[in-house]
Amino acid sequence: MVLGCVAGGFVLSHGNLVALWQPFEVLIICGAAFGAFVIANPGTVIKGALGSIGQLLKGSKHTKKSYMELLALMYDLFTKARKEGLMALEADIDEPENSPIFQKYPQILKNHHALDFIADYLRLMVGGNMNPFEIENLMDVELETHHHEAAKIPAAITAVSDALPGFGIVAAVLGIVITMASIGGPVEELGAHVAAALVGTFLGILLAYGFVGPMSTSLSHMNEDDSKVFECIKVCLLASLNGYAPQIAVEFGRKALYSHNRPGFQELEDFVKGKAE
C-alpha cells in the first residue's frame, strides 16, 4: 500500500519512475543505517532483530484458540492437583513432553518460554515453602525482566528509523557535492545530479516512516501479545494457589485477556469439557 500510493501518485503527476532508481543512494542510506545498527547493539539484539523479520510476515501467533488451549491446560493441571494433590504434578512438570496432560496441547508445548514459566512456578507451588505474595513478587520480577528484554529489539529498530532521514540527508549532501563538481557541464547532467541528491532525502524519509518505523511498532504489539500469555498464566496460578476451584481460577485468567481474544464463559467451558473428554 505504501509503495503503491507513493509510486502511483508520482506517476499520476507525470513523474518518471526511472528517475527514482538510484542504487548508489540506496547503498549509502541502507548501508550506513545498518552499520550504525551493528555498532549500537550487541549480537543478541542484532540476531533477534534479523530473526523478527519472519515473525513480522507471519503475524502474531496468539489467537483466541491458542488462549483457549492455554486455559484448558491450566484447568486440567488444577483439576489433577485438586483431586490427587500438588505432588501428583511432579511428573508432568519435570517432563512436559511426556505428560498426557501437556500432550493434549501441542501448541503450548511449542512455546518453550510459556512452558518453562508454568513448570517453574508449579514446582514452587509443589514445594510449598512460599506463600502467594512471595510467588507473585517473584513473578512480577520475571515478567518485568521479560518485558525489558523483549523491548530491546523494537527500540533498536526505532533508532534505525530515527536515523534514516539523517542518512538520507547525508546521501543528498554527497549528491550536491557531485553536482557542484559538475558545474559548467551540460544542464541535463546537472539536473540528473540534483535529482539523484533529492532522491536520497526522499528514500531516507520513506524508509523511516513507511517501513522501518511501522515494523518496530508491529513488533511492540506482538511483544504485548506475548506478555499477555504470561500474565494470563500468572493470574491463573495465583488464583489456584489462593484456593479457588479450577473453573474459577481459569475464569481469572480469561478476564485478563484482551477483548478481541477473550472467549466467552460458555465457549470456554464447552471447550474445556471437550478436551477433558
Q: Give the pLDDT band of residue 277 (cuts 50, 70, 90).
A: low
10 Å Cβ neighbour count for 107? 15
Say if CB 95 and CB 115 are below 8 A apart: no
Give pLDDT tens digits for 148-197: 999 999 999 999 999 999 999 999 999 899 888 888 778 878 888 888 88
CA-based nearest residue to 126, from 151, 158, 92, 157: 92
Q: What is the mean pLDDT of the chain?
A: 89
Q: What is the pLDDT of residues 60-94, one digit of tens each?
A: 788 888 899 999 999 999 999 888 888 888 888 88
pLDDT of residue 72: 92
Is it the case that residue 213 has pLDDT exceeding 90? Answer: yes
Confidence class for position 36, pLDDT limits 50, 70, 90: very high
Q: Where are the domains of the chain?
A: 17-277
CA torsion 72→76→81→87, rounded to 10°?
-110
Measured CA to CA, the distance from residue 229 to residue 71 in angstroms comes to: 10
What pLDDT shows up at residue 53?
A: 85
How does residue 108 score in pLDDT terms, banded at 50, 70 and 90?
confident
Q: How much is the pLDDT for 124? A: 86
Measure the CA–CA gap between 8 and 189, rounded to whole angstroms: 26
Distance CA(103)–CA(81), nearest Å, equals: 17
